[in-house]
Chain A
Amino acid sequence: MSTATELTTAPPLPDPADQMLAGYWEAVARGELVVQECGSCAAPQWPPRAGCGTCGLSDLGWRRVAGTGTLFTWTTVHHTTIEYYKPALPFALAAVELDDAPVRMLGRVRGVHPDQLSIDQPLTVVYESVAPGVTLPVWEPR
Chain B
Amino acid sequence: MSTPLRACIAGAALTEFSRDSGRSAERLAIEVATAACLDAGVDPTVIDGIVPFPHGPTAEDLMAGLGLPDVRFSGVPHLGGASSVAGLRLAAMAVTAGQADYVLCFVARNGRSSSRVEQRVATLLPGQRYRRNLENPQGMNSPAQWYSLICRRHMHEFGTTRAHLAEVALTMRAHAQLNEHAQMYGRPMTMEQYMSGRPIADPYWLYDCCLETDGAGAVLITSADRAKDGPHRPVHLAGMAEGHADSADDIVNRRDIFNTGLTKAAPRAFGMAGVTPSDVDAAMIYDCFTFEVIQQLEEAGFCPRGGGGDLVADGGIALGGRLPVNPHGGLLSEGHIAGMNHVVEAVTQLRGDAGRRQVPDAEVVAVTGWGDMGDGALAVLTV
Contact = CB atoms under 8 A, between A and B. Distances in A.
- Bin the interface of chain B by size: 35 or more
Given A21-B129, A95-B149, A73 B252 contact: yes
A76 B247 CA distance: 23
Given A12-B132, A81-B141, A91-B139, 13 more contacts: A13-B137, A15-B133, A18-B129, A47-B134, A73-B153, A74-B149, A79-B201, A81-B142, A88-B139, A93-B138, A95-B252, A108-B139, A130-B137
B255 A136 contact: no
A72 B252 contact: yes
Contacts of A95: 149, 252
A102 B247 CA distance: 13
B200 interface: yes
Given A18-B129, A73-B150, A103-B253, A11 B139 contact: yes
A14 B275 CA distance: 48
From A11, A13, A93, A130, name the one whose CB has the most chain B CB atoms within 10 angstroms. A93
- Bin the interface of chain A by size: 35 or more
B153 A119 contact: yes
Contact of A75 (B127, B145, B257): B145
Interface in A10-36: 11-15, 18, 20-21
A72 B257 CA distance: 10
Interface in A83-142: 84-85, 88, 90-91, 93, 95, 102-104, 106-108, 114, 119, 130, 134, 136, 138
A47 B253 contact: yes
Nearest to B146: A75
A106 B252 contact: yes
A77 interface: yes
Given A46-B253, A85-B139, A77 B145 contact: yes
B137 A93 contact: no
A88 B141 CA distance: 15
Nearest to A45: B253
Contacts of A103: 253
Given A72-B252, A102-B255, A108 B138 contact: yes
Contacts of B152: 73-75, 119
Interface of A: 11-15, 18, 20-21, 46-47, 53, 72-82, 84-85, 88, 90-91, 93, 95, 102-104, 106-108, 114, 119, 130, 134, 136, 138
A11 B137 contact: yes
Contact of A20 (B129, B156, B199, B255): B129
B202 interface: yes
Interface string B139-179: 11110110011101100100000000000000000000000
A138 B200 CA distance: 21
Given A77-B145, A119-B153, A106 B134 contact: yes
Contacts of B200: 78-79
B368 to A, nearest CB: 23
Contacts of A82: 136, 139, 141
